[in-house]
Each structure stands twice: as structure tokens, then as C-alpha cells.
Structure 1
Amino acid sequence: MPHLILIGFSGTGKSAVGKEVARLLGWEFLDTDQEVVRRAGKSIAQVFAQEGEPTFRALEAQALADALARPQPTVVAVGGGAVLSPENRQRMAGAGVVVCLEAHPQTILQRLAQAEEEVRPLLAGPNPLERITALKAQRQPLYALADWTVHTDHLTVEETAREVVRGWEIGRRRFAAEAVQEEEVSAVVHTSAGPYPVYVGWGLISSLGQRLRRMGLASTAYLITDRTVFYAWGRKVQTALEEAGIPTHIFTFPSGEASKTLDTVRYAYQWLASLKAQRGHLIVALGGGVVGDLAGFVSATYNRGMPFIQVPTTLLAMVDASIGGKTGVDLPEGKNLVGAFYQPRMVLADALTLSTLPARALREGWAEAIKHGLILDASLFRTFEERADALLRLEREVLVPVLRRSMAIKADVVSRDEKETLGLRILLNYGHTVGHALEQATGYTQYLHGEAVAVGMMAEGRISQRLGLLSSEALERQRAVLERFGLPTACVGVDPQAIKAGMAVDKKRAGKGIRWVLLEDIGRAVVREDVPDSVVDEALAEITRG
């Protein structure tokens, strides 16, 4: 994680602003001028008078080098003339995001006149404003090399600090991209907020704290989870964090979709406020899709945004909900009506957590993983056909590579169409037009999401076949794999008109029609808007008859 380095002329507020920025981020603060005074055992004015400017610059350069070598992310306020040294500029550019605080010479003179600390020796003289103007003009081209500049003349310390943090959030993307490329990860999601890694493996939870520390996310953590997951994995995650020196607080709520409400969000807000959670602290979402959606929404909205990571513990959350930045809660009027796109800083999927899942919850997750093979990866689908027994037994050597491939597919689609504006991400909705309508038609009580999607894929596969896109052989392969993984392929007894009514409010509609995701072959999906009602009616009749 990069440091945040403040440069700028004397009197622009680096020390005061730096302390406030450190408070907002939950980091440490270091002022190189103060460090020079501590090491020299005398004031800066005395160093200049007794030993000269070259000695001061050498002390300053060493203090800066030591500050930037610190392993923990630090807000570093740098003396106004440090930018004169090419070595200092090179060090700062490589070690962190450089933010310059700017002010007009008149503002600087006024602030220095009011300051209690001694005025810099180089500013002494009969015409200080002229001296400030000349020195500032000399250094201005070097200050302009900063990653971000904040004009402080009419801002309070707090307002300036918030602008600095905004600059750091944007500037850190360069370092995030470099860090992701250096480490071995299963996938990388590239978004407008910067890239983030997706780790998939066996027994990864024990390394969570150390991974966060390497990413610079080592301040206080707030673990949000449901009570079922807490009893299975909560203490293990807490131990992994605290052994890495990350203080951890825990918020739990009753398991299930019924808890995904604004009331639960309000309780989480109040809990964070009682603990004085800061913007630079971290929220950890531990659990399935409900936990990830809710904790992500809290992260997106509390303190105007806090960093968070996803630690999915269900198969469905691993291959689907944890990747992509969709967060939200339900209203009585419908699911996920309040939410935001807000990306995590990391996704860590520990396949070992699947060993504690109930069999039905595990089965529904396979639907989304199989879907990825059907729409984009024929080779992955063949793995489901050929290694079904090993996958169902959760054999590590087979399970982990399949999870990695499935999650990489989701990561790639999200990277190319983060907010569903280019028509690529809609491919992930294969099976969902009918699946969502089936959930609604049965009151969200008869089918789990993955089960409904499996039925939906059969309906949409039949539509593909009737339109001449998909062969009967390919449709049969889809049915056989879904049934092999214990998923339903029909919804006998459900009113097809009730399903059709649910489809009428589908969010994938384009004007008056539905944007259908269909198959041309195993591993190749297509979007169509010209599906006749009669074809849809025939497909719905088939899946409701069995």
C-alpha cells in the first residue's frame, strides 16, 4: 500500500492537514521537519545558522528516506524545499501518492505570521512577501509534478484533508495495479475504482490478516456476518486478523434474506458509530450473498465510503455475488431496490468453508458455476460432465481449479462491463429471466435462487432450441449436468402464467420486449430481443409439465 506524501510551500498546512488525513485513514503521521529537529537536537533555524543549508538538506533527505521505508502506510509531511533534490523526488514518486498543498503567497504570509512555530530562515528578510513569491515561483515546476493538488486558500483543515484523501484514492490505483500484477492471484477485476485481486484456494482464511497487511489495510477491522457463519468461521477470521495486529470488532445478524433490510443497515450504522469507525478502517464481509450485499452497502454509505473486502463462504457467493460490486438491501416492494455499485478491495474465497455448507445450499451454488461454462467456456462445462463425482465430494485438487476458472469468468465479464452499460454483463443472466420470475411466482419460498436459475436455464435452453440456435444434443447435455448436481430442471405444478407475469417486470426488458440470453452452443451465448410469445409459452408449458 502506498504512503501518502504531502508536499508544498511552508504555510500551506501540511502538518495540520497531515494529522487530520492520518486520523481519517487510521494511519500514522510523520513530519520530516520534526524528525530533523529530533535527530539534530536543535531547531531548524539553529541547524541553518550553525551548520548551513547543505547539512539541513542532508538531514532532511535521510529523514524522508527513513519515513518512506516504513512498512506500514504513513502520512508523511515533507519540508517545502525537499522537492529541490532529484533523489527526494524519485523516492517520493516510487513510494506513494504525492499530494501538493497550494496557496497564494499572500495567504502563506498571513498564515506564517500567525503561526506559533518559528519562521523558516530562508523567509527572513525585510520583504517577506517578495521572498515567498520568488521562492515559490522557483519551486512551482517541481510542486506541479505531484499526483494531486489541493488549493487550500479558502478551505478549512478538515475540508482540505477530505480533498487530500480523495486525491489519494485516485492516485493509489497506480500502485494497486502494480501490486496485483506482482502477486499470484486467481483473477483480477479491473474497475473504475482500480483493480482488485481475487484469491481462491484451500485454507486461505488463516492468511487473511497478513494479506491485508501487505495491502496496507491493517487498521481496525469491522467484521459483519450472520450468526450461522459466525459460529462456523467468525472466530477463525477474527484470530487471523488479530494475529496480524489488526484489531477486530464483530457485528452479527440473523441468517437469511429477511435480514437484508434497511433496519439491519441502521443497526450496523449505529454499531459503527459507537465504535467511532473511521473512513480508513476496513469492513470485512464474511458469509453468503446476503452478508456480502448488506455489508457492501454499509461500506458504500457509512462515512461516505469505507474500504471493504469480501470473504464469501457459500459456493453461490464465491462464483457470483462476491465479484462485481453489486450491493444492496430489500424493500417490502421488492428485492435489491436500494443499493449501489461499490467494489471491494479484495475477494478471498477459501474452498474449505464449503465443507460446512448444507447440501442444498451447496447444490444451488453449482447452478451459477455450471452457467459460466454454458455461456462462455465449453471446457469448463466438460469438466462438470467428466469430474462431477470429485466435485460433489469437494475434492480439493478438482474443486479449487474449477472455482478459480468460474470466478475468473465472472471477473473478466465485470471488468469489461462494470455497470452493465455495454451489453456484456447481461450474458451472466442466462437462466435468470425465467428463474427470477419463478422465484416471484412461488413467493420466494419454494426454490432457492440457484434452483430457480437451473429451471430457468432449461426453459431458456428450450427457447434456444426452438429458435434453431441450440441443438437437441447440447440441450440434453445441459439437462444431464444440472440433474447430476442435484438441481431441478422443471417446476411441475407452477402456473406458467404466473411465471410470465413475473417476467413482465424483468429488469432486463428493452422497451416492451425482453432481452433474452440464449445459447448458440455450449460455451457460446447470445442476446436476442425477437423471441415470439408463442415460443416462450411453449417453453414454460414444458417446464411446468415436467
Structure 2
Amino acid sequence: MKTIVYIIGFSGTGKSVSSELAAKSLGWKYYDMDKIIEQESGKSINEIFDSNGESWFRKKESELLIRLSEESNCIISTGGGVPISKDNMEKMNQTGYVISLDASISTIIKRLDQNNVDGENEKTIRPKLSNFTHEKIKKLKSERSDAYSSSNYIINTNSKTVEEVANNIVYETEKYISDLIANSLSKIDSFCTNVKSKNDQYGVFVGLDIYKNLPQVISNLTSRDKFYLLADDGSKSYMRDIQKIFELAGKNTTTFVIPQGESSKSLSISSKIYEWLSIEHADRGDMLLGIGGGVVGDITGFVASTYMRGIKFILLPTTLLSMSDSSIGGKTAVDVNNIKNLVGSFYNPSLVYSDLRSLNTLPQRQISSGWAELIKHGFIKDKILLRDMMDISNYKDIDQNISEIIKRSIQIKGDIVTVDENEKYGSRIMLNYGHTLGHAIESSTNLEQYTHGEAVSIGMTFAAKLSHHLNMLSLDELDFHNNILQKFDLPIKTNNIDWDKCYELMLNDKKVINGQINWILLETLGKSIVKNDITKEIIYKVFESM
């Protein structure tokens, strides 16, 4: 992948020093066009203007720009006049990312008057600036302003140190690279969606037998030849398949297996993974691959976010539940003192890669559990998706048609997370449809009676009935709602549930604000809302219908 960043701007904005520092930080090559022309001609810029003239110099700038545009992984600091040429500006925009540095006239003049280590200043070594007054510099800068403003991004350097400007360049460069990667990944057949956050983005892939293409996809993200594979006992077979694919691609792997189950989501297991990574000499440029269900995904993200203050990681979920829910959204956590997800953070993966063939050995009950989350996305956002799900003849046999339906559902999750990454704006709370009561049912039964998807299914049924009771969801819609859950072998009724205990648990939910439960309800199928003014009497009345 070709990556070039061009730094343009008027003399005195800090191009050369900050560009060189940024290139060093990125581990990239650095080119200063003025210096290259001086070296190749054996003359200073002033001497070139005196002996060859400005036209000759501008021609050499254009020729050098064409030559450097064939490079990659480099920052190019241009002369102040390079962008004036329309052809030059087009070449830079076509072959890389253009950042313009800007500063006020007073700041520029102050910097131009400062001498360098050789006792020279910019005014004496730049022919266009020699004997220039404040007004003349202002005029020249104004003449070039249109060219400078046609860049991809502008950094004002007035009150910034060289280091701060360099950091800004690095930050924008990393965003540029991220966009290039996202564009490249989106062209791959199994691409599902791109989840964006404030600081990064990652692709989600869903398909059948796509694991064979994993090394090729990962090559867009890293050039490393060694990968760290983390799985649980239940995913060892799939991990071996992944290992073989990497070996065929000439890549090295090292593996670590943890016990299956929630008990592995702990600080003690995390410590063992840290030790393994350290013994294997994993550094901040390496990549950890988590292969398994939600537990593996959680601990992989947690370890990646904390080892050496953060390394990249990829999730290869092996349950439909983790594919549709926990692998997307950047939530990482471990359990402490028997409190689930007590310690964690938001830390995004570099890639989520879901091969639906990995579900072949999954118990049918777990497949149904995963469908609860997929159906939920239709309930809150897409009525047409629900109809297409209802038309599935046999959900147990995942073919290409079902694969596309799963992708559409996962896209909804990705879109919601992109809008509300850290649950600050309210839209992400819609993903909790059915979870308010579902989590309470799980806790009240000590996670032994129902799977997560089954508990959520019961919770969604309750929420739908509550929506109908409040004159939102029609009776026909309520029937459709419950029929689609039953079609996928999900429960809509429950026995032996302590409703008083469930209500108490719901009042202690982290989504409760000022003692009010935030209920996610349906105005209609495909349209969800939040209500927090529902009385205990109404809740218990709907409890009785369950």
C-alpha cells in the first residue's frame, strides 16, 4: 500500500523541522525538496535563482515531485512555491495526503528573522523573501492561499512547538493510513461493515469459509511475520486451522490456550497471558489474535489494551452470539471478586473476522442464542430484515442467503456503535432492547437456567408486551414479534422466575438513572424508543402475563 504525506505551506510555518521529526516518529523516510535540489545542482537556492532563474527552478521542483511521488512510507516537505502549480497540486492529491501548515504574518516574520546555526535566516536564503517587507510577505502569502487551502488538512502552527506540530502530523498521517486500509478492505468480498470511532476504525468480515483468506486480509494491517494466537479449549481445533493457513502463507505463530468458561475472564489468567507474550518477546508492533466466543474476545481485548500500554488485536469469534454482539463495539473486561466485567475499557480491535463455518460444531442451542441478538437488531432498526428472517426455511443450515442476512444484521450493530462509540449520546442504549430484564433473569438464576440469548429473548418478549400495554406496538406486531423468536427456537415464556428478585436486580442495573429504569421499547417493529417513567404497578402487571 502506497503511503505518502506531503507537507506544504509558506516559509516560516515550520515545514522542514516538524516534518522530519514526524517522519522519524513514524519510522518513515523524509525528503526535503529544497535540499535535494540544492544537493543535485550543487548550488544554493539563491544561486540557482541568480544563475538559472526562477522558471528553471520551478521546472526542477516539478520533475523532483514526479520522481518522489513514486516513493512510499515517506513525508515530503515541499518548497513554499510547489503548490502554486496546478499540475503539482494534482500530483500530490492523486498520490498522497496533503497537509498544509499555516501561521499568522507576524509569526512568520518573527520566525524568518531567527538565525539558524550557520547564522543565516530564511530571508537571506530564500530569494523570494529577500528584502521583503511585512506588506510584501503578506501579499505573497495571500497569492498562495488558494493553493495552500486546497490541502486535505490544515494545521495552524502559531502557538505550537515543533514537537506539537510533529504530533499533529503523525496523528493526521495515522488517520490517513487508516482510511487507506479501510478502503482496501472494503473491496474484499466478505467485507460486512466498517466501524468508526473517534481515533480509529476497523473492518468487520462475515462469510463462509473465509478463514483461508485471513493472511491476505491481515497483510493490509501489518507486515509482521509472527502472530500470537489465543484460544480456549473449545476453539483449539479452529485455532489449528488458522495456524495451518498462516504456515502456508509463510508466517510464524505461537499459541496459548485458556480453559473454557467465564472463570477464565480473570486477572490471574490475564497475568499468564502477559507472561506468555513477554517470553515470546511480543512488542508494541505485534498483533494478538483472539479465537473463540465472548470470553476469549473480552480477555483478548483486555490484555491487548494493557500489555505494553496497548498492542493491536484481531477477533475471530466462533459463536454466533459473539459474532453478532460482543466482538463489535470495543468493550473489553475481566471479572473481579465475582463481579462480571468490573475492570475493563473501550479498546477497538483492528479487525473482526467471522467465518460462519466455524459454527458447525456449535450446539444448536448456542446457534439459537446467537440469533436472539441478530433478531434484536431488526426489532430496533429494520422491519424488512425481520421479514427476510421470517422467510428463512431452515436457520440451522447456514447458506449464502442466510450469511447475507446475518451480515445485514451485524451492519446495524456496526452503524450504531459508530454513532455512539462510548455510550454517550443515547443511540447505543437501543442495543439493550430485551437486556434490562434479560440480565436480571441471568443473575437471578445464577447463569444456569438460560443462555444469554434465551434470557434476552424472554426480555424482548416482556418489552414487546410492555410496548403493547402502553398502546405502541399493535397486537398483530406483538404476535409477529413472538412468532419470529419461536421460529428460531427461542423462549417467549418462563417458569420459576422470582420476579421480585428480578425487579430488585433491574433497579441496580448500571443503566438506571436517578432510580428510574431506562426501558428500551418499540413504537413499532423497526423503531425503538427509551422510556423511564413506567411505574412498578405496570411492570408487575406485564410480569403476570409472562
1:82 aligned residue: 82
Between stretches 204-213 and 510-519, larger displacement belongs to 204-213
CA–CA distance in 2 between the matches of 1:68 and 1:132?
35
CA–CA distance in 2 between the matches of 1:335 and 1:380?
32
Q: Which of the residues 436, 447, 452 maps onto 1:433?
A: 436
Q: Say if 2:201 is the partner of 1:199.
A: no
1:28 aligned residue: 28
Deviation at 1:347, TM superposition (A): 4.0
Q: Say if 2:461 is the partner of 1:458.
A: yes
CA–CA distance in 1 between the matches of 2:253 and 2:85?
42
Q: Say if 2:230 is the partner of 1:225.
A: yes
> Is the CA contact 1:11–1:111 (under 8 Å) kept in the aligned structure 2?
no
Q: Which of the residues 518, 521, 529 maps onto 1:518?
A: 521
Q: Say if 2:384 is the partner of 1:379.
A: yes
Deviation at 1:379, TM superposition (A): 3.4
Q: Which of the residues 411, 414, 424 maps onto 1:411?
A: 414
Deviations 1:106-144 (A, max 9, x none): 6567573269xx99997179x989799977984573556
Q: 1:99 to 1:243 in 2, by over 3 A?
A: farther
CA–CA distance in 2 between the matches of 1:444 and 1:181?
39
Q: 1:275 to 1:461 in 2, by over 3 A?
A: same
Counterpart secondary structure, 1:148:
strand
Q: Say if 2:130 is the partner of 1:123.
A: no
Q: Which of the residues 168, 171, 187 maps onto 1:166?
A: 171
What residue identity is the alignment partner of 1:461?
A
Q: 1:177 to 1:348 in 2, by over 3 A?
A: closer
Deviations 1:399-453 (A, max 9, x none): 2111122112223333454444444333322210111111222333443322221
Q: So what's the TM-score if we normalise by structure 2?
A: 0.77
Q: Which of the residues 363, 366, 371 maps onto 2:371?
A: 366
Counterpart secondary structure, 2:446:
coil
Q: 1:442 to 1:30 in 2, by over 3 A?
A: same
Counterpart secondary structure, 1:5:
strand
Q: Say if 2:399 is the partner of 1:392.
A: no
The Cα RMSD (Å) is: 4.7
Which 5+ residue runs of structure 1 have no aligned equivalent?
Answer: none
> Is the CA contact 2:231–2:239 (under 8 Å) kept in the aligned structure 1?
no
> Is the CA contact 2:230–2:291 (under 8 Å) kept in the aligned structure 1?
yes
1:97 aligned residue: 97
Across the two proteins, how many residue pairs are aligned to each other?
531
What residue identity is the alignment partner of 2:283?
K
CA–CA distance in 1 between the matches of 2:35 and 2:255?
38
Counterpart secondary structure, 1:487:
coil
CA–CA distance in 1 between the matches of 2:309 and 2:508?
32
Q: Which of the residues 109, 133, 155 maps onto 1:149?
A: 155
Deviation at 1:307, TM superposition (A): 6.0
Counterpart secondary structure, 1:6:
strand
Between stretches 139-148 and 171-180, larger displacement belongs to 171-180
Q: Equivalent residues in 2 for 1:4-19 (5 A)?
A: 4-7=5-8, 17-18=18-19
Q: Say if 2:42 is the partner of 1:68.
A: no
What residue identity is the alignment partner of 2:397?
R
CA–CA distance in 1 between the matches of 2:11 and 2:244?
45
Deviations 1:474-523 (A, max 9, x none): 54554454344343444433422222221111233243221222345544
CA–CA distance in 2 between the matches of 1:58 and 1:286?
56
Counterpart secondary structure, 2:117:
helix
Deviation at 1:231, TM superposition (A): 2.9
Q: 1:171 to 1:145 in 2, by over 3 A?
A: farther
Q: 1:31 to 1:286 in 2, by over 3 A?
A: farther
CA–CA distance in 2 between the matches of 1:495 and 1:311?
37
Deviations 1:150-204 (A, max 9, x none): 63987465x5533322233556687688778877753444554576554332233
> Is the CA contact 1:32–1:64 (under 8 Å) kept in the aligned structure 2?
no
CA–CA distance in 1 between the matches of 2:8 and 2:312?
25
What residue identity is the alignment partner of 1:166?
Y
> Is the CA contact 2:436–2:519 (under 8 Å) kept in the aligned structure 1?
yes
Q: Say if 2:455 is the partner of 1:449.
A: no
What residue identity is the alignment partner of 2:7?
L
Between stretches 515-524 and 445-454, larger displacement belongs to 515-524
Q: 1:406 to 1:61 in 2, by over 3 A?
A: same
Q: Percent identity?
A: 32
Q: Equivalent residues in 2 for 1:307-318 (5 A)?
A: 310-318=315-323
CA–CA distance in 2 between the matches of 1:203 and 1:188?
20
> Is the CA contact 1:177–1:194 (under 8 Å) kept in the aligned structure 2?
no
Deviation at 1:534, TM superposition (A): 3.1
Q: Equivalent residues in 2 for 1:205-244 (5 A)?
A: 205-213=211-219, 218=223, 223=228, 225-228=230-233, 231-234=236-239, 237=242
Deviations 1:79-110 (A, max 9, x none): 55533433222322343333345785665675
Deviations 1:11-55 (A, max 9, x none): 877666556544544x532415499479x8664649949866655
1:186 aligned residue: 192
Q: Say if 2:539 is the partner of 1:532.
A: no
Counterpart secondary structure, 2:460:
helix
What residue identity is the alignment partner of 2:99?
V
Deviations 1:329-359 (A, max 9, x none): 4443733344444555554433223224344
Q: 1:213 to 1:35 in 2, by over 3 A?
A: farther
CA–CA distance in 1 between the matches of 2:208 and 2:380?
27
CA–CA distance in 2 between the matches of 1:246 and 1:7?
40
2:512 aligned residue: 509
